[in-house]
Amino acid sequence: MKAASTNYISDLRLKPNMGEVIEMMASAPAAETTQAKFECRNVEVFYSGKRALHGINMDVPDSGVTALIGPSGCGKSTFLRVFNRMNDTIPNARVAGQILMDRQDIYGKDIDPVLLRARVGMVFQKPNPFPKSIYDNVAYGPRIHGLAPRKSDLDTIVEKSLMRAGLWDEVKDRLKEAGTSLSGGQQQRLVIARAIAVSPEVILMDEPASALDPIATAKLEELIDELKEKYCILIVTHSMAQAARVSQKTAFFHLGDLVEYDDTQTIFTNPKDQRTQDYITGRTG
Amino acid sequence: MSAMAKTSIHQTDLARKRLARRKAKEKRFRYAGVTAVVIAMVMLGWLVVSLVGTGYTAFFQHYLTITVTLDENILDPNGARDADQLRKANYRKIIQQALYARFPEVTYRRSKRALFQIISASGATNHVRKMVYQDPNLVGRELTIVVPVSDDVDQFLKGYIDRKAPEELRRVSDQQIAWVDQLVTSGELVRKFNWRFFTAADSRDPELAGIAGAVVGSIMALGVAFFLSVPIGVGAAVYLEEFAPKNRLTDFIEININNLAAVPSIVFGLLGLAVFLNFFGLPRSAPLVGGMVLGLMTLPTIIIATRSALRAVSPSIIDGALSLGASHTQAVFHHKVPLAASGILTGSIIGMAQALGETAPLLMIGMVAFVTEIPTNIMEPASALPVQIFLWSDSAERAWAERTSAAIIVLLIVLISMNAIAIFLRSRLERRW
Ligand SMILES: Nc1ncnc2c1ncn2[C@@H]1O[C@H](COP(=O)(O)OP(=O)(O)OP(=O)(O)O)[C@@H](O)[C@H]1O
Ligand SMILES: [Mg+2]
């Protein structure tokens, strides 16, 4: 289990020690505990008073990949946005219930969503690199959080992040070029590098491969497989095969309800609920 | 089973008829569009042709080369070279004597007067006065000067006065025509590019009048308007779009900004008159006040352009920034405003182009004065290009008509250039990534 103090971002009053930052990037926590990263208690989300999520109770493990599946409009994206409080940025959206991250209520009064989002990164369905250079894309997060006091530190972070996202070899000679000039798959990995650069604990991914071709998708899945050693990953996907390939835990949502949540193996081989069974065998959805 | 059963409903005669009708309708619509474009182009072409047709001659002017004797007895009878005396001296007589010397056969008083009328009297006297004033040592010597001819002779030489018309119906007499012909043949009277039109301020004599004073006045007023309306407009737009709470007050403000954009510009002139001149006591006719009025007028345009540019920025970029832990303010200033910059710039330039062409509000605050000096600061009385056009268009002589058209051509060229710059900047900024 990680103590809150090892996460330098949670205490920005202290200037980060670069050695510590880089060491943290190199040796992120081992994935051995069964400790829950997130505990969701009766989470509800309302859009203009209309309930989109009906009292979700679910523990997200500290390590590994947790997949969220379910038919379109069932509330997967809504649920994912609960973890980094991106729902706060949607006017008319309201979140009720309790979400604990490392036992701490992330909707508590003492939590600043801006710092929470540095701890919980996010990758969107459509790659959204900034219209800046590849370097500046990755450097943006460390810059705004003041993680790299010197240019050389920033260079190190950018390089490590791009390496970890499996993009370094493809872009190391063109860091000054526009991030938007990359292919879709490269852009998505760039966005992942950008998220990694602020040393998050968790990465949320909302259908990250839905705009990619099969080869880019395979590359991305490989990357997710590597990243899960260091980060807690939550992924929304429409592909059953992808959920089966990359995740250890799977949650099936239906019409705003969490229908079934279990080990991925169990969900795909031996689902308990009829709705889950219908969905994974392609009879609904 | 039969052949009939296999025919699709899209292959019958009826279907062909329907298709023909649809195509005819589309064709009619295309013709209507082409007709509209042709009509618009013809009107535009007509405007340009008529402007250039009447205006291009104003870019040329006829000049007379003449040798004057700077007679000490006339200019400085007591030989003191006193600056005041040199300024007040009778230069008119100097010019007259030079002309009489050139045409010694002219003796009648009336003929002498007619002869003097072929050159620009104040143009020539002011020219010589300035030279002598700068270098008093010239007194007593001979000097060859090149001076504009009078507007009537200029118009005659440009072909606007018919030499076959009865003498009493034209503004140049037979005698004057004879002199002019003689001077043209001898090469003393030539046509040159009219630099004075671009370097001089307004004048009572068309042959001496230029647009420089009005252009400088316009530039000063636009500068004031720019520094007033762009920072305030962009700041207000960013605040309203991104930070203002959405409530009744901000709704009310928004509606009123949209209304302001539709308020006739003369109303802003009245506002300027009441507030800047009458209440704050700022000087009349000053580019400072004109600029402030124009700035107020363009403010809504810039606010609206900036807000729509901000709204056009893809929300996914902002989501990306927020998801990295950027605050809302950081997301706005690091991403939204830079991405909206080209739209903001275009809106500002187009607002400024509008302000440049505006006349009515300037009339209200007195920027319509007859100003013969090029203003040197924003508190001095000045005119503006569209107001200058308005003033000239009111004068009767033929020479003013060509200068009016020429000034309009200059104004249009500046406006088109500003819009072209706006388009260029937009494409440049957008192509960067
Ligand atoms: N910004 C919003 N405003 C209002 N309603 C919303 C908003 N976002 C989502 N909803 C509603 O909430 C419900 C859940 O939407 P959500 O986007 O979470 O579904 P999803 O499972 O991610 O679907 P998909 O697989 O198509 O992405 C839907 O009924 C949707 O209409
Ligand atoms: Mg979704």
Number of domains in chain B: 2
Establish if A39 belongs to a structural domain.
Answer: yes
Quote the pLDDT of residue A14: 46
Considering Cα of B246, then B252, then B257, then B259, what sign does the dihedral take?
Answer: positive
- Is residue A91 in contact with ligand 1, taking CB distance under 6 Å? no
SS3 of A174-210: the string is CCCCEHHHCCHHHHHHHHHHHHHCCCCCEEEEECCCC
Query: Is the Cβ pair A144, B339 closer than 8 Å?
Result: no
Query: Is the Cβ pair A124, B320 closer than 8 Å?
Result: yes
B259 with B399, same domain?
A: yes
Eight-class DSSP state of B283: P
Establish if B25 belongs to a structural domain.
Answer: no
∠B424-B427-B428 over CA atoms, to 5°? 80
Chain A nearest CA to B432, separation (Å): 9
Helix (H) / strand (E) element for A251: namely strand A249-254
Question: What average pLDDT does the segment A232-258 reach?
Answer: 93
Residues of A in contact with B246 (CB under 8 A): 91
Domain membership of residue A253 as a residue range: 35-280
Q: Which ligand is nearest to the CA of A79?
A: 1
- Token look-up 């009766």 returns A42
Which residue of B314, B324, B335 is in closest CB contact with A194? B324
Establish if B12 belongs to a structural domain.
Answer: no
Helix (H) / strand (E) element for A97: namely strand A93-101
Q: What is the ipTM of this complex?
A: 0.86
Nearest residue in B to A10, CA atom: B325
Give the other-Cβ count within 10 Å of B313's Cβ: 18
Residues 6+ apart with CB under 8 A from B326: A114, A140, A144, B334
B181 with B249, same domain?
A: no
Establish if A57 belongs to a structural domain.
Answer: yes
Number of domains in chain A: 1
- Is residue A27 in contact with ligand 1, taking CB distance under 6 Å? no
B185 touching A, CB under 8 A? no
- Is residue A75 in contact with ligand 1, taking CB distance under 6 Å? yes
Residues of A in contact with B328 (CB under 8 A): 89
How far does chain A reach from its first CA to its final CA, in angstroms?
38
B317 touching A, CB under 8 A? yes
Which residue of B323, B432, B433 is in closest CB contact with A86? B323
The predicted-structure confidence for A94-134, as pLDDT tens digits, reads as follows 999 999 999 999 998 888 999 999 999 999 999 999 999 99
- CA max distance for chain A: 57
Establish if B66 belongs to a structural domain.
Answer: yes
The predicted-structure confidence for A12-26, as pLDDT tens digits, reads as follows 444 555 555 555 554
Nearest residue in B to A196, CA atom: B324
B187 with B223, same domain?
A: no
Tell me the CA distances in angstroms from A269 to A250, A258, A272, B313, one per residue in order: 12, 18, 10, 45
- Is residue A276 in contact with ligand 1, taking CB distance under 6 Å? no
B410 with B265, same domain?
A: yes
Are B151 and B207 contacting, i.e. CB atoms less than 8 angstroms apart? yes
A122 touching B, CB under 8 A? yes
Return the CATH number at A95. Answer: 3.40.50.300
Q: Pull the structure tokens for residue B364.
A: 């209200």
- Token look-up 């020690």 returns A17
Q: Give the pLDDT band of residue A1 (cuts 50, 70, 90).
A: very low
Q: Pull the structure tokens for residue A139.
A: 């450097």
Q: How far is the CA of B320 from the centre of ligand 2 (A)?
A: 16
Establish if B409 belongs to a structural domain.
Answer: yes
B280 touching A, CB under 8 A? no
A81 touching B, CB under 8 A? no
- Token look-up 């400024």 returns B352
B269 with B162, same domain?
A: no
Quote the pLDDT of residue B5: 60
Helix (H) / strand (E) element for A121: namely strand A120-123
- Token look-up 């950018």 returns A158
Chain A nearest CA to B340, separation (Å): 12
Q: Pull the structure tokens for residue B181.
A: 């012909």
Q: Under DSSP, is residue B235 helix (H, G, I), strand (E, B) or coil?
A: helix
∠B277-B281-B282 over CA atoms, to 5°? 70
Establish if A2 belongs to a structural domain.
Answer: no
Interface test with chain B among A86, A89, A177, A198, by most B beta carbons within 10 Å: A89
A60 touching B, CB under 8 A? no
Query: Is the Cβ pair A144, B322 closer than 8 Å?
Result: no
Chain B nearest CA to A151, separation (Å): 19
B178 with B233, same domain?
A: no
Are B119 and B148 contacting, i.e. CB atoms less than 8 angstroms apart? yes
Closest alpha carbon to A175 in A213, A137, A120: A137
Question: For residue B432, which amino acid is it?
Answer: R
Establish if A78 belongs to a structural domain.
Answer: yes
Are A42 and A216 contacting, i.e. CB atoms less than 8 angstroms apart? no
Are A123 and B324 contacting, i.e. CB atoms less than 8 angstroms apart? no
B275 touching A, CB under 8 A? no
Question: Mind giving me the DSSP string for B381-400?
Answer: ----HHHHHHHHHT--SHHH
Q: Return d(Cα B305, Cα B228) in angstroms, integer.
A: 16
B83: left (phi over 0), alpha (psi -120 to 50) or beta: alpha
Quote the pLDDT of residue A6: 42
Probe target for ligand 1 pocket from A45, A74, A83, A92, with the most ligand atoms within 8 Å of CB = A74
Q: How many helices (H) and strands (E) does chain B have?
A: 20, 3
Establish if A75 belongs to a structural domain.
Answer: yes
Tell me the CA distances in angstroms from B255 to B250, B258, B299, B300, B343, one per residue in order: 9, 5, 14, 11, 22
Probe target for ligand 1 pocket from A46, A47, A242, with the most ligand atoms within 8 Å of CB = A47
How far does chain B reach from its first CA to its final CA, in angstroms?
62
Establish if A234 belongs to a structural domain.
Answer: yes
- Token look-up 């099936």 returns A252
Q: How far is the CA of A103 from the centre of ligand 2 (A)?
A: 27
Are B381 and B284 contacting, i.e. CB atoms less than 8 angstroms apart? yes
- Is residue A124 in contact with ligand 1, taking CB distance under 6 Å? no
Give the other-Cβ count within 10 Å of A123's Cβ: 24
B175 with B112, same domain?
A: yes
Nearest residue in B to A181, CA atom: B433
- The better pLDDT of the pair A163, A284 is held by A163
Question: For residue B56, which amino acid is it?
Answer: Y
B268 with B329, same domain?
A: yes
Q: Give the pLDDT band of residue A41 (cuts 50, 70, 90).
A: very high
B316 touching A, CB under 8 A? yes
B188 with B231, same domain?
A: no
| Nearest protein CA to atom 7 of ligand 1, as residue | A47
Rg of chain A taking only CA atoms, in angstroms: 19
- Is residue A52 in contact with ligand 1, taking CB distance under 6 Å? yes
Establish if B145 belongs to a structural domain.
Answer: yes
Q: Return d(Cα B44, Cα B418) in angstroms, integer.
A: 19
Q: Return d(Cα A150, Cα A21) in angstroms, integer.
A: 13
B281 with B161, same domain?
A: no
Q: How far is the CA of B5 from the centre of ligand 1 (A)?
A: 48
- Is residue A77 in contact with ligand 1, taking CB distance under 6 Å? yes
Beta strand B60-69 with A65-69 is unpaired
Return the CATH number at B348. Answer: 1.10.3720.10
pLDDT 10s digit of each residue in chain B, 433 long? 455 567 788 888 999 999 999 999 999 999 999 999 999 999 999 999 999 998 999 999 999 999 999 888 888 888 888 888 888 889 999 999 999 999 999 889 899 999 999 999 999 999 999 998 888 888 888 989 999 999 999 999 998 988 888 988 888 999 999 999 999 999 999 999 999 999 999 998 999 999 999 999 999 999 999 999 999 999 999 999 999 998 999 999 999 999 998 899 999 999 999 999 999 999 989 999 999 999 999 999 999 999 999 999 999 999 999 999 999 999 999 999 999 998 999 899 989 999 999 999 999 998 888 888 888 989 898 999 999 999 999 888 889 999 999 999 999 999 999 889 988 888 887 755 5
Helix (H) / strand (E) element for A55: namely strand A50-61
Give the other-Cβ count within 10 Å of B73's Cβ: 8
Q: Return d(Cα A199, Cα A24) in angstroms, integer.
A: 8
Residues of B in contact with A129 (CB under 8 A): 320
| Nearest protein CA to atom 11 of ligand 1, as residue | A52
Q: Return d(Cα B120, Cα B110) in angstroms, integer.
A: 18
Establish if B32 belongs to a structural domain.
Answer: no
Domain membership of residue B323 as a residue range: 212-429
Give the other-Cβ count within 10 Å of B196's Cβ: 18
